[in-house]
Chain A
Amino acid sequence: MSLPPTGDALLQGDMTPLPKGGLPSTLKAHQPWRRTLYRFVRNPAAVVGSAIVLLVVFVAVFAPVIATHPGHVGSFVNIRERHQPPSSEHLFGTDQVGRDVFTRVVYGYRVSLLLVLVVLGTAVPVGVVLGLLAGYYGGWVETIIMRVTDVFLAIPVLVMALALTAALTPSLTSAMIALASLWWTWHTRLIFSIVRSLRGEEYVESARLLGANTLHMLFRELLPNCVSAISVKVALDAGFVILIGAGLSFLGLGVRPPTPDLGMMVSDGSRYLPDMWWQSVFPGLAILVAILGFNLLGDGLRDLFDVEVS
């Protein structure tokens, strides 16, 4: 195939060859994280969830500044002010000994979040590592780890908490230990099943072929592919930890007075329902909001990661 003859002067300009590759593109190159951000802000669950979670964290962190009556956190009694309904001075009213409910709710968030941090901060790393080992090695390692996991999974949280309080006195610490000692099992299970399915992937085989050692395989090849599942689970777990922690305190197996704890507050205030409703309702709502936020965030993250994978 040859070009038409260039005898025609009029066409001459038209026939000038273009550079190979065409003219340069006008589109900006985009960073990878921008894409994720784009999708994130279009996901209502993720946005609302993170907003709530950020609010809760903010409140907890800046509790001393936000709380109207910081002194009411410890042992404080003011019988004259007891059972005051919500007002401009006491936003959430006061409880049976005159403490400001709003302040205690705000500080209660601190306790809840501390519980989340400690429980998940210990359970997740332990669970993930055990899951990685069981999934990667298989055989005896898998059998031992997974059967031990099964044993722990069979213990109800409440029973564990009761057993611990028999040994120690009920406190925030005993609640933390009770929860952490059982929480890791779910993460082990999750990571185990993910790793088992990833084990046969070509990129895993390829890494072994290239001479990677076990540590590399576990933490650099397999773990990054579990991160999305872990983040979703952690977000959802946070809500559950708060809920169960509140439950333990409600039953008297957790935090001890006078430390404000949302669960305890609901419990104490339940005696005065329905007249002095503010004492139970506001702490209860606070728990609800926190759990809702974490759940929405977890759902949003899961939607986000699902799309990314596909």
Chain B
Amino acid sequence: MALPAAATAATHILEVNDLRVAFRGFNGRAEVLQGVNLKVGRGERVGLVGESGCGKSLTVRAIMGILRTPPARVEAGEILFEGRDLLRMRQSERNALKGRDLSMVFQDPGTSLNPVFRVGEQLDDIKYWADRRRGQRMSRAARRERILEVLGQVKLPEPALVYDAFPMQLSGGMRQRVLIAMALLNRPTLLIADEPGTALDVTTQDEILRLLDGLVQEEGLSMLLISHNLGVVRAMTDRLYVMYAGAVVEEGRTADLFKDARHPYTRALMRCVPRLDGEGDLVGIDGTLPDYADPPAGCRFHPRCEFAHRRCLTRPPMIEAGQEGHRSACWLEAPK
């Protein structure tokens, strides 16, 4: 599919600009995503980290086009994939991209696979429809070959047996590998991984994450990794976005952020993580997530922030802090 001239100049494979998503509910209008900005470069591994309710899942669903509208509504912003705005595309064009160039590894292997169909059938279905949307066709045998190839790529022993198996006959770790295979089936350029391995044992999760990392590097994919686990994003990403209450509060190279986090939320979050060596004190964050229907004015973190002052009643922009590319949405970074 030929891309328009402007798009070929796109430096980033994925660009989310000023995305605003609101919900209509019992308490009126709730503005959740407040203008989210993020970019994923070619071959880059980018992390999106935040706690539950921060809007990271919502952002991902908006990117994949699986938002439930109503009650959600995209009010503004653009999502550029290879320079083309996903939000303003025709549905058919969007569908052609979904699962193909832009693919997602889902979170819960327990519920993401249909229990009444064999694994091979489900993968075959996906390949068949993805091809069809693109006007391509492969024979069933050819599809099976491709599926077995990809099942082998995710290091599943005996791919032919897995092909004929039902999901419940596989362990959690194997199912997660199948989900990764599903995402790789159509040779995507961008992989979105939503909390991969969260539901698994720590040793299994470790294996899965290292597998994923290996595959991303092997295939030269770009990856957007969503997680609530700081340890995971530290190991698996080159750049990181930290989200709180519907906005990105800090961004930068992963190494920079862990060495010298600037935003009070990021710093507080890091103090919440228990340490394997038992050093340091475990300190929580007082207060709770804001009510999106009645959010605090200005910076949404200020009611819980030890440095809050009057300026915080106005929402701070992203301000350069520390190393290049490292920015924090906090007035404390403002030049005097």
Does chain A touch chain B in the assembled complex, meaning CB atoms less than 8 Å apart? yes
Interface residues of A (CB under 8 A from B): 1, 3-5, 8, 11, 13-18, 20-23, 25-27, 30, 35, 38
Interface SS of chain B: loop
Q: Other than the known A15-B311, A22-B296, what 13 A-B pairs have Cβ atoms closer than 8 Å?
A: A1-B262, A1-B264, A1-B307, A4-B332, A4-B334, A14-B309, A18-B308, A18-B309, A20-B304, A21-B287, A21-B303, A22-B308, A27-B291
CB within 8 A of A4: which of B262, B287, B336? B336
Within 8 A of A (CB), among B285-299: 286-287, 291, 293-294, 296-297
CA distance A14 to B26 in the complex (A): 35
- With most chain A CB atoms within 10 A of its CB, the pick from B264, B291, B336 is B336
Contacts of B262 on A, CB cut-off 8 Å? 1
Query: Are A14 and B27 closer than 8 Å at their CB atoms?
Result: no
Contacts of A1 on B, CB cut-off 8 Å? 262, 264, 267, 307, 332
Q: Distance in Å from the Cβ of A223 to the closest Cβ of chain B?
A: 28
Q: Distance in Å from the Cβ of B278 to the closest Cβ of chain A?
A: 25
Q: Which residue of B lies closest to A34 (CB)?
A: B26
Q: 20 pairs across A/B with beta carbons < 8 Å? A: A1-B264, A1-B267, A4-B336, A11-B336, A13-B310, A18-B302, A18-B309, A18-B312, A20-B303, A20-B306, A21-B287, A21-B304, A22-B296, A22-B303, A22-B308, A23-B296, A26-B294, A27-B293, A27-B294, A35-B26
Contacts of A26 on B, CB cut-off 8 Å? 294
Contacts of A21 on B, CB cut-off 8 Å? 287, 303-304
Name the 9 nearest CB pairs between A and B, nearest first.
A22-B303, A27-B294, A18-B308, A14-B311, A22-B296, A15-B309, A14-B310, A16-B310, A17-B309
Contacts of B291 on A, CB cut-off 8 Å? 25, 27
Query: Are A15 and B287 closer than 8 Å at their CB atoms?
Result: no
CA distance A113 to B295 in the complex (A): 51
CA distance A219 to B291 in the complex (A): 36
CA distance A84 to B75 in the complex (A): 65
Bits for B15-44, please: 1 = Cβ < 8 Å to A, else 0: 000000000001100000000000000000
Interface residues of B (CB under 8 A from A): 26-27, 262, 264, 267, 286-287, 291, 293-294, 296-297, 302-304, 306-313, 332, 334, 336
Query: Are A17 and B27 closer than 8 Å at their CB atoms?
Result: no
Query: Are B26 and A38 closer than 8 Å at their CB atoms?
Result: yes
Query: Are A23 and B294 closer than 8 Å at their CB atoms?
Result: no
CA distance A286 to B207 in the complex (A): 68
CA distance A23 to B303 in the complex (A): 8
CA distance A20 to B302 in the complex (A): 8
Query: Are B294 and A25 closer than 8 Å at their CB atoms?
Result: yes
Query: Are B294 and A5 closer than 8 Å at their CB atoms?
Result: no
Query: Are B332 and A17 closer than 8 Å at their CB atoms?
Result: no
Q: Distance in Å from the Cβ of A96 to the closest Cβ of chain B?
A: 57
Given that A20-B303, A21-B303 are known contacts, is A30 also in contact with B27, CB under 8 Å in the complex?
A: yes
CA distance A22 to B291 in the complex (A): 13
Query: Are B294 and A3 closer than 8 Å at their CB atoms?
Result: no
Contacts of B26 on A, CB cut-off 8 Å? 30, 35, 38
Query: Are A3 and B312 closer than 8 Å at their CB atoms?
Result: no
Q: Which residue of A lies closest to B335 (CB)?
A: A4
CA distance A27 to B306 in the complex (A): 24
CB within 8 A of B310: which of A8, A15, A20? A15
CA distance A8 to B26 in the complex (A): 46
Query: Are B309 and A16 closer than 8 Å at their CB atoms?
Result: yes
Q: Which residue of A lies closest to B331 (CB)?
A: A14
Query: Are B303 and A3 closer than 8 Å at their CB atoms?
Result: no
Contacts of A25 on B, CB cut-off 8 Å? 291, 294
Query: Are A5 and B336 closer than 8 Å at their CB atoms?
Result: yes
CB within 8 A of B302: which of A4, A5, A8, A22? A22
Contacts of A13 on B, CB cut-off 8 Å? 310
Contacts of A3 on B, CB cut-off 8 Å? 307, 309, 332
Q: Which residue of A lies closest to B287 (CB)?
A: A21
Query: Are B286 and A20 closer than 8 Å at their CB atoms?
Result: yes
Contacts of A8 on B, CB cut-off 8 Å? 336
Q: Distance in Å from the Cβ of A9 to the closest Cβ of chain B?
A: 12
Q: Distance in Å from the Cβ of A154 to the closest Cβ of chain B?
A: 32
Q: Distance in Å from the Cβ of A28 to the closest Cβ of chain B?
A: 9
CA distance A15 to B336 in the complex (A): 12
Q: Distance in Å from the Cβ of B105 to the closest Cβ of chain A?
A: 25
Q: Which residue of A lies closest to B294 (CB)?
A: A27
CA distance A214 to B315 in the complex (A): 56
CA distance A27 to B26 in the complex (A): 12
Q: Which residue of A lies closest to B267 (CB)?
A: A1
Q: Distance in Å from the Cβ of B286 to the closest Cβ of chain A?
A: 7
CA distance A245 to B309 in the complex (A): 73
Q: Distance in Å from the Cβ of A43 to the closest Cβ of chain B?
A: 14
Contacts of A18 on B, CB cut-off 8 Å? 302-303, 308-310, 312-313
CA distance A35 to B26 in the complex (A): 7
Contacts of B307 on A, CB cut-off 8 Å? 1, 3, 17
CA distance A21 to B336 in the complex (A): 26
Contacts of B302 on A, CB cut-off 8 Å? 18, 22
Q: Distance in Å from the Cβ of A16 to the closest Cβ of chain B?
A: 5
